[in-house]
Structure 1
Amino acid sequence: MTTQNNSVSNEVKGNLTFDDKVIQKIIGHAIENVKGLLDVDGGFISNIKNKLVNSDDVTDGIDVEVGKEQVAVDLKIIMEFGYNARNVYDELKKFVAKDINDTTNLDLVELNVEVADIQTKREYEQNSTTVQDKLSDVGSSIREGAKDSTESMSPDKRVE
């Protein structure tokens, strides 16, 4: 008696793809600790939005092209004065390539970085104050002032 092995291959077919936003988020988180990098410049509209409200959108200013096995990235950055641009670029390449590959198994094949501005950390922090922050500060000051003036009134002088 002969036994025949008629096992059918159960190979599952399909594709794994990544939306551009996923790659942008990976990059946004990867570059958070690059020394000498103050911010990624998202352009005029993004800068206006970020001046109005606090935004945690790590994808602003990150453009990507995602293929089946490779990724190309374009960044416009604001660099901190006192750092070497080549060193900042090399650190960006290292962190971005590692995190993209660790997360997706895609290879970073191109990283284009344009230094759009250079600022001191102090200049950057002053320029980063949003209208929302300023309004919150004003609101807090008004509340504190009202509280202080109410507490300073003696009970017989309070208006009821």
Structure 2
Amino acid sequence: MTEMKKTPSIKGELKYTDKVIEKIVGMALESVDGLLAVSGGFFSDLKEKLINTDTTRDGVNVEVGTKQVAVDLDIVAEYQKHVPTIYQSIKSVIETEIKRMTDLEVVEVNVNVVDIKTRAQHEADTVSLQDRVSDVTSSAVDFTSNQADKAAKGISNLTETKEPRVI
């Protein structure tokens, strides 16, 4: 029999940044019934409306170790939904997705319910916030445009050439 030569093992390690795990959690939570939002608070919600950014991770905080993950969430739950059931669904989907994608063990999921709203209230709040941000943006643009026009007229008045006076 021929002896097989062992190839040297490739060394290295696989690590995940908090951002990656937060994103997996955020995307996984989109399927949870009764969960209206994972909230990072008013300023986070405002940022989402003002800047076209990836907000999947807002309101999601994680601690990532080499083999384990702990997750903290602030959520808005839907009115008349059983919150403990929402919590169990959140834990289940997070555990499943993290394990499936990373082989990391989820050891803790802490959920802080920061608000309860009907779906209609949540949608109205989202629209009204967008309207308020649009109004503020529009006012700022109008103000800036008016100031620029005034400056241009002032510069024009200063640089106009006048006919020399003949004495």
Q: When the two structures are superposed, what TM-score results if normalisation uses the length of structure 2?
A: 0.72
- Structure 1 equivalent of residue 21 of structure 2: 23
Where relative contact order (Cα < 8 A, 6+ residues apart) is larger, the structure is 1
Q: Which amino acid is the alignment partner of residue 114 of structure 1? A: N
Shift of 1:10: 1.2
> Segments of 4+ in structure 1 off by > 3 A?
3-9, 51-56, 131-135
Change in CA separation of 1:44 and 1:134 when aligned onto 2, cut-off 3 Å: closer
Deviations 1:11-51 (A, max 9, x none): 11111000111101110111001000000011242122134
Structure 1 runs not aligned, ≥5 long? 139-160
Change in CA separation of 1:126 and 1:10 when aligned onto 2, cut-off 3 Å: same
- Structure 1 equivalent of residue 36 of structure 2: 38
Whole-Å separation in 2 of the counterparts to 1:133 and 1:46: 13
Please give the secondary structure, in 2, of the residue aligned with 1:64: strand
Whole-Å separation in 1 of the counterparts to 2:51 and 2:124: 15
Structure 2 runs not aligned, ≥5 long? 139-167
Change in CA separation of 1:133 and 1:45 when aligned onto 2, cut-off 3 Å: closer
Contact 1:41 1:61 in 2 (8 A): yes
Whole-Å separation in 1 of the counterparts to 2:80 and 2:2: 74
- Structure 1 equivalent of residue 90 of structure 2: 92
Deviations 1:22-81 (A, max 9, x none): 101110111001000000011242122134356542001100000001000000000000
Q: When the two structures are superposed, what TM-score results if normalisation uses the length of structure 1?
A: 0.75
Identity among equivalent positions (%) equals 40
More helix per residue? 2
Bigger radius of gyration: 2
- Structure 2 equivalent of residue 78 of structure 1: 76
Q: Which amino acid is the alignment partner of residue 34 of structure 1? A: V
RMSD: 2.3
Deviations 1:71-109 (A, max 9, x none): 000000000001011000000011000000000000110
